[in-house]
């Protein structure tokens, strides 16, 4: 094999005049595979298999739907246009937890490179309860990054809508919201005074270290 590939990747390609050699063919195929996008069940499975990755190597993680690339010293997430992953958020309060009653509570998250975007929607139904104390919402268990920020919006069929700013909760796995006016005006069971049919929408962002 005396001819290098035209793409400059350093892969020696067999020529017609080369004698048959299965070891040489293995070397070519292995080099080609290492330049392709590989798929692994998780980061731990990737690391166990690719013990000596090459700079620029790509690997897809199936459990979190994230594309990763080896920088030469570590694996880093890259902008991959991933897909939304659903989860069930916990809606709690400092004293007594609220409940959406017959309404719905849904959550989902997606990765964009180093960013994690979390969306939570709570539709209040009949029999809802506002609980007591400052409201908090849980992030997915996969969220391990540094908190960046986000927004909360209360959409009301009747009455005035309300917006707030999301802030990190007492732990890295929760967020809470503050109403216009600054710290201390935490969104809670009395700010605002919701009604059945109201929709709480949260949009949170984190940065993976």
Q: What is the CATH number of the domain that holds 13?
A: 3.40.1620.70
| Domain count of the fold of the chain | 2
CA distances from 193 to 23, 121, 127, 156, 198 (A): 73, 17, 15, 11, 10
Higher pLDDT, 117 or 121: 121
Query: Do residues 130 and 168 lie in contact, with contact meaning Cβ atoms separated by under 8 Å?
Result: no
Which pLDDT tens digit goes with each residue over 23-63? Answer: 776 676 666 666 677 888 899 999 998 898 888 888 888 88
- Whether residues 95 and 197 share a domain: the answer is yes
Which pLDDT tens digit goes with each residue over 59-73? Answer: 888 887 788 889 899
Greatest mean pLDDT among 52-66, 91-105, 128-142, 146-160 lies in 91-105
The pLDDT value recorded for residue 3 is: 63
- Whether residues 106 and 139 share a domain: the answer is yes
* Banded model confidence at residue 121, pLDDT cuts 50, 70, 90: very high
* Banded model confidence at residue 185, pLDDT cuts 50, 70, 90: low
> Is pLDDT above 50 for 151?
yes
For residue 39, the enclosing domain spans 3-78
* Banded model confidence at residue 182, pLDDT cuts 50, 70, 90: very low
- Whether residues 46 and 102 share a domain: the answer is no
The pLDDT value recorded for residue 48 is: 92
Q: State how far the Cα of 120 lies from the Cα of 28, in Å rounded to an integer.
A: 48
- Whether residues 59 and 93 share a domain: the answer is no
Q: The dihedral of CA 183, 186, 187, 190: what is its sign? A: negative
* Banded model confidence at residue 145, pLDDT cuts 50, 70, 90: low
Query: Do residues 202 and 119 lie in contact, with contact meaning Cβ atoms separated by under 8 Å?
Result: yes
Higher pLDDT, 175 or 189: 175
> Is pLDDT above 50 for 183?
no
Higher pLDDT, 184 or 42: 42
pLDDT, average across residues 181-193: 57
In sequence order, which ranges of the chain are alpha helices (DSSP H)?
22-35, 43-49
Domain holding 170: CATH number? 2.60.90
């Amino acid at each position: 094999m005396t001819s290098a590939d035209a793409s400059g990747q350093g892969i020696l390609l067999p020529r017609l005049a080369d004698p048959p050699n299965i070891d040489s063919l293995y070397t070519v195929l292995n080099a080609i595979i290492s330049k392709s996008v590989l798929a692994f069940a998780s980061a731990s499975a990737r690391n166990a298999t690719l013990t000596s990755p090459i700079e620029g190597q790509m690997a897809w993680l199936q459990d979190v739907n994230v594309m990763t690339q080896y920088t030469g010293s570590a694996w880093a997430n890259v902008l991959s246009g991933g897909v939304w992953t659903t989860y069930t958020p916990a809606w709690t309060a400092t004293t007594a937890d609220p409940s959406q009653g017959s309404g719905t509570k849904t959550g989902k998250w997606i990765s964009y490179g180093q960013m994690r975007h979390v969306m939570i929607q709570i539709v209040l139904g009949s029999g809802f309860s506002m609980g007591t104390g400052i409201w908090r919402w849980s992030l997915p268990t996969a969220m391990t990054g540094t908190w960046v920020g986000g927004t909360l919006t209360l959409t009301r069929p009747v009455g005035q809508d309300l917006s707030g700013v999301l802030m990190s909760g007492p732990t890295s796995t929760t967020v809470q919201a503050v109403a216009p006016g600054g710290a201390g005006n935490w969104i809670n069971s009395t700010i605002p005074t919701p009604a059945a049919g109201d929709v709480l929408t949260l949009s949170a962002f984190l940065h993976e270290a």
